Structure formats: structure tokens, C-alpha cells
């Protein structure tokens, strides 16, 4: 048994030296190994004291006293050493792998090729004469529109939040009148900081001229003629208008951008008409909107709109085609 004890002690000593000197994992593990080795040495030494063999209880008492006393006396020095090793380790962080170069879109690659050709052969026939402003406008279109898929384009114009906000608002309106609540309906949370779209035909006389502006009746449970617009929609429409008024872009490109702008507007206008027709058809489309037991009402307003949603990605592809034709690339 003593042979195995001594072998284990040697292995723990080597491990303790490695962990303590290198700081691998933790110096505390190394010191713990040293203390176990110390216990083994004390146990071996206590088997023979002054030529007499000590009883087992005596050996355990002596070993325990030494193993407790030594760490207590050396605790401060051990803590300082461990902190020093930890500081050295943090000052040399692992080197992160080199990031791969960004993936360039076809438009960006074409622009880079044109820039190289123009700089090397500025007068060579066939090199499109692009100004810095034109390149900047095309890159911005590529970043904001062409690089996005259908889902990202819908999110960029705020259509998911537009649907959610307006359905929730009309649920609150219909529920308020259904319960005949006497407390005034507060819709501030839906309108605060937002612009909105109105349709005078859907209002059925509830929008009137008032001085230089218009007067609106409070919403009711008979009609929907107002659509709250998310900030993404408002900002996105302004960006498209900026491109449409750009003097740097060719006419064919501007035309395709206007087509995308029209599609964005028509989707918002379609949502307003869907909200109104759903209310007129059956208020339960709102009252039972979250009723999972009813496949006829559960989130059916979503489907009414999304089934007729004009896809944005095909319109974006037309913009890309017009830009590539302008640049003279396939």
C-alpha cells in the first residue's frame, strides 16, 4: 500500500508544480496537490518516530494538524501568487482568428471593377463615366435595398409592427364599445410619436374640413379609416423619396425605385382596407382574434392582409437589373 501511496504522491507533486508554475487552469489546484503530497509525506514519516511505530490515530492527528496549520500560515503568500498569475494570464488574451473578408455583392464588385478601369484607363471607350456621387448613391441603394431578402425588406419598412400595432389598437377600440365602458378610450400608446394614414372614403363623413386643416371624429366600432405608421415606414419612405429626387441616378433606375415606393404604399393602404372590411364583416375578428379554439377568427386578419401582400423582393430585383444595365454589367 505504501508503494502506491508514494507513487500517487509523486504524480500529485508533478501536477502541482505544473499548475502552480504555469498558472494552467488555476494555481490553487497546484497548491492543493502540494498539500496532499505533504499529507502523504507526513503520514509516511509518522509511521516511524524515534524507532517506534506510532498508532494510526496518532498519525492521523499529526497529519491533520500539519495540513491545517501550513495552509493557514501561508495563505497570504499563496493568494498573492495566485493573483499575480491570474493578472499575467489576463494580460495575454488568446489571439482571435482573423476575420474573413466581407462578402461583396455583385453591384459592389461591379463598382470596384469600374473604379479600377477608370483609374487605369480613364479615356478608354466602354468605361462608364461615373461620378463619386453616383457611386455613393448606388452603394447606398445596394446596402439599404438590394442586400435585403423579402423578410428583411418587410422589417425595414416596419410592416410586421404596422400589422401588430393596428390590429391591437382596433381590438382595444372594439372591446371598449362592446363593453360599453364609461371611461374615455385612451389610444395614446398607439399614436405617441407616430405618423398616420387616413382614408376619407373609409371615414364615411367622420373627417371634415376645419379651417386650414381637418377635424377627425374619435374612432368607433363601426369603421376603420386611420392607420398608425411605424417609424421604420416613415423613415423608409423618406429614403425612397430621396433616391427618386436624386439627380445622380439615371431615369430607368429612378423608375424602378418609384415602383418599389408604390408597392410599399399599396401594402400599407391594403392593410387599412383589410382592417375596415374585417370590422364591417364581423367584429369578432377582433374580439376573438386570439381565440385559438376558433380557426375562423384566430389571427384571420393577418391572413386577409398577407394573402394579398405585394412582394417587395421582386421590386428590389428590378432596381438591381436597372443598375446593372446602367453599369453595363450582366
* pLDDT score of 311 more than 50: yes
Q: Residue 256 pLDDT more than 60?
A: yes
Matching residue, cell 435585403 = 148
Whether the per-residue pLDDT at 123 is higher than 50: the answer is: no
Q: Is the pLDDT of residue 262 over 90?
A: yes
Sequence-ordered list of residues with C-beta below 8 angstroms from that of 38, at least 6 positions apart, any chain: 66, 67, 70
Comparing 42 with 243, which gets the higher pLDDT?
A: 243
- Contact between 237 and 231 under an 8 Å Cβ cutoff? The reply is no
Nearest 5°: phi and psi at 190?
Answer: -90, -30
Tell me the domain boundaries of the chain: 2-90, 106-327
The predicted model scores a pTM of 0.65
Give the pLDDT mean for 71-86.
61
For range 306-326, the mean pLDDT: 95
**For residue 223, what is its C-alpha cell?**
369603421
Of residues 86 and 143, the one with the higher pLDDT is 143
Distance from the first to the final alpha carbon of the chain? 82
Q: Of 194, 276, 188, give the one whose Cα is nearest residue 228.
A: 194
For residue 184, the model assigns a pLDDT of 85
Q: Do 82 and 30 contact (CB within 8 A), yes or no?
A: no
- Rounded average pLDDT over 294-306: 96
* Average pLDDT, integer, range 72-91: 60
Given a cut of 50, whether residue 94 has pLDDT beyond it is no
pLDDT at 160: 97
- In angstroms, how far is CA 10 from the centroid of its own chain? 53
Q: Is the pLDDT reported for residue 275 higher than 70?
A: yes
User: If you average pLDDT over residues 137-150, what whole number do you get?
Assistant: 94
Task: Give pLDDT, residue 124.
Answer: 46
pLDDT band at 82 (very low <50, low <70, confident <90, very high): low
pLDDT digits (tens, 9 = 90+) for 156-213: 999 999 999 999 999 999 999 998 878 888 899 999 989 999 999 999 999 988 888 8
3-state SS of 64-91 is HHHHHHHHHHHHHHHHHHHHHHHHHHHC
Examine the pLDDT at 60 and tell me if it is beyond 70.
Answer: no
Across the chain, what does the average pLDDT equal? 79
Cβ atoms of 167 and 227 closer than 8 Å: no
Whether 31 has a pLDDT exceeding 60, the answer reads no
Average pLDDT on 22-41 reads: 56
Amino acid at each position: 500500500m505504501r508503494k502506491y501511496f508514494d507513487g500517487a504522491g509523486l504524480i500529485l507533486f508533478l501536477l502541482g508544480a505544473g499548475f502552480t508554475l504555469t498558472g494552467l487552469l488555476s494555481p490553487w489546484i497546484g497548491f492543493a496537490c502540494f498539500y496532499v503530497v505533504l499529507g502523504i509525506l507526513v503520514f509516511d514519516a509518522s509511521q516511524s518516530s524515534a524507532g517506534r511505530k506510532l498508532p494510526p490515530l496518532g498519525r492521523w492527528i499529526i497529519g491533520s494538524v500539519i495540513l491545517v496549520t501550513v495552509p493557514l500560515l501561508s495563505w497570504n503568500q499563496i493568494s498573492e501568487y495566485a493573483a499575480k498569475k491570474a493578472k499575467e494570464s489576463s494580460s495575454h488574451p488568446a489571439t482571435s482568428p482573423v476575420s474573413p473578408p466581407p462578402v461583396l455583392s455583385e453591384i459592389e464588385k461591379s463598382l470596384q471593377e469600374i473604379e479600377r478601369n477608370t483609374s487605369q484607363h480613364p479615356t478608354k471607350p466602354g468605361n462608364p463615366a461615373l461620378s463619386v456621387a453616383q457611386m455613393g448613391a448606388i452603394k447606398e441603394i445596394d446596402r439599404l435595398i438590394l442586400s435585403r431578402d423579402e423578410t428583411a425588406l418587410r422589417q425595414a419598412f416596419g410592416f410586421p409592427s404596422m400589422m401588430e400595432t393596428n390590429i391591437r389598437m382596433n381590438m382595444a377600440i372594439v372591446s371598449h364599445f362592446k363593453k360599453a365602458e364609461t371611461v374615455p378610450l385612451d389610444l395614446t400608446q398607439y399614436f405617441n410619436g407616430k405618423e398616420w394614414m387616413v382614408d376619407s372614403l373609409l371615414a364615411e363623413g367622420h373627417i371634415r374640413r376645419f379651417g386650414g386643416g381637418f377635424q377627425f371624429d374619435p374612432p368607433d366600432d363601426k369603421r376603420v379609416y386611420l392607420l398608425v405608421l411605424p417609424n421604420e415606414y416613415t423613415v423608409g419612405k423618406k429614403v425612397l423619396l430621396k433616391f427618386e429626387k436624386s439627380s445622380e441616378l439615371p431615369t430607368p433606375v429612378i423608375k424602378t425605385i418609384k415602383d418599389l415606393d408604390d408597392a410599399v404604399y399599396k401594402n400599407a393602404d391594403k392593410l387599412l382596407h383589410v382592417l375596415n372590411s374585417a370590422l364591417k364583416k364581423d367584429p369578432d375578428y377582433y374580439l376573438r382574434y386570439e381565440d385559438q379554439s376558433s380557426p375562423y377568427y384566430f389571427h384571420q386578419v393577418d391572413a386577409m392582409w398577407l394573402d394579398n401582400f405585394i412582394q417587395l423582393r421582386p421590386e428590389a430585383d428590378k432596381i438591381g437589373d436597372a443598375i446593372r444595365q446602367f453599369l453595363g454589367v450582366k
